[in-house]
Each structure stands twice: as structure tokens, then as C-alpha cells.
Amino acid sequence: DAMVIQNPRYQVTQFGKPVTLSCSQTLNHNVMYWYQQKSSQAPKLLFHYYDKDFNNEADTPDNFQSRRPNTSFCFLDIRSPGLGDAAMYLCATSREIGGGYNEQFFGPGTRLTVL
Amino acid sequence: AQSVSQHNHHVILSEAASLELGCNYSYGGTVNLFWYVQYPGQHLQLLLKYFSGDPLVKGIKGFEAEFIKSKFSFNLRKPSVQWSDTAEYFCAVQRSGGYQKVTFGTGTKLQVIP
């Protein structure tokens, strides 16, 4: 089945130690997203790739970076995690066909713990 | 920027009770509207969507939602809930036209008691 896969499902890191979360998709969608979701809060868009074009949200801290080496993979790099970065990180994809159709397909998420 | 309000954070119902979850958005233009559901231990998945046409939208598992433009609302309904409907429900809005980001509400946790 076509899907969005995130690895690992659970990640523990130390304060200030860089960490990378990964996302892959078999849907061949051209848009990939990273969301941060804290407990009892809405998923918050960090950035997205529209094809190869990177689009950062204005309020996303510089501590968060992303890479998309090819259509199928997208990475979230947190350069110096702080305690406030502990959250669930969701990857999503959509197929943008120019008409605003934007159903997003989500991965299971990676729960990040910062010690 | 658009925003989404879900007024009920936690709802507890008995099986067979009727459900209505509120969702209001703040954007005066044309919008696309979504309800996503997250079952325990599972990923977010689309329940239903509205893009245009009939404002009463039917989704999976007996859910429906009604878009009332004058009230900026997109409430989710189900006539008779089941224990398996226990989940968190997120309303989301997107401006229509071209590529626009989707803004999510904070979610409503539904607990259905057998």
C-alpha cells in the first residue's frame, strides 16, 4: 500500500545534541510537509517542499532545517534541540495539481524526547 | 492569516448518542475545509472534505459535515456514535486557489463509553 513512513517512531536525544528525523513516501506526491505537534495543540506547519523548492514558515526557528534529496525522502534536522522542542513531528504529503486540491496524507509521526 | 477554532476540547458520549463537534474559521474568502481523525496509536487521516458544491458533505464511517458560509462554520456530525469512534478530531481550513497551506484547529478528543 502507498504510504508515508516515518523513522524512527520514537527518538530520544540530549539537550543540544543534533538529531535527524526521516520521512519517506511511496505516493509519488510532489509536496512534502513537516509539522510540529505539542500536546493538546494543533499541528503547526514548520516548512514544506513544493517539488524541490523549500518554503519556510516565518515563525519556524532557525534551529530547524530540512532536506529533500529526492521525491521520496525528506529529512528534518534539529541542530541544537532544546527542552521546548520535545513534541510529535508529523510528516505529510500531498499532490499539488495547481487547482488548490490539497488533501494531505500523514505519516504516523516521530515522538521526540529531549533530556 | 486564517485561523480555526474548535470549542470542544474533550467530549464524552455514550454509544448510540448523537455527535456534533463545532468548528469555526476566520477567513472571509473562499475556503476548502477538512476534518481529520486520529485514532489511538494511528496517524492522522482524512474523514471528509469540502471544496465546493453541496454544503452537506458525507464522509467515511457515517460522518457528515455542513458548511454554513454565513456562520464561518463546518461542524461535524454523526447520528449515532460507536465505541470505535473514540479518537481525536481535527478541523482544518485552507484558502482556495493555487497552493495554500492548511491550518489546523487544536482538536477535540472524543471518548465514547460502551
Is the predicted pLDDT of residue B1 greater than 90, yes or no? no
pLDDT digits (tens, 9 = 90+) for B51-98: 889 999 999 999 999 999 999 999 999 999 999 999 999 999 988 876
Measured between CA atoms, the residue of chain A closest to residue B43 is A108
Q: Is A104 exposed, middle or buried (0-12, 13-18, 19+ CB in 10 A)?
A: buried
Q: Confidence class of residue B101 from pLDDT cuts 50, 70 and 90?
A: confident
pLDDT digits (tens, 9 = 90+) for A96-110: 876 555 688 999 999
**Mean pLDDT of the A62-76 span:** 96
Decide if A40 and B106 are in contact by the 8 Å CB cutoff.
Answer: yes
Chain A CB contacts of B106 under 8 Å are 40-42
A7 in reach of chain B (CB within 8 A)? no
pLDDT at A100: 57
pLDDT at A101: 56
Is the predicted pLDDT of residue A69 greater than 90, yes or no? yes
Q: How many angstroms from the chain centroid is the CA of residue B34?
A: 6
Is the predicted pLDDT of residue B99 greater than 80, yes or no? no
Residue numbers of A between 15 and 74 with CB closer than 8 Å to B: 31, 40-43, 45, 48, 50, 57
pLDDT digits (tens, 9 = 90+) for A23-36: 999 999 999 999 99
Residues of chain A above pLDDT 90, percent: 84
CA distance B53 to chain A (A): 14
b/e A40-51 (16+ beta carbons within 10 angstroms → b):
eebbbbbbbbee
Partner residue facing B104 (CB), from A31, A43, A100? A43
pLDDT digits (tens, 9 = 90+) for A29-64: 999 999 999 988 889 999 999 999 999 999 999 999
Backbone angles phi, psi at A49, to 5 degrees: -110, 125
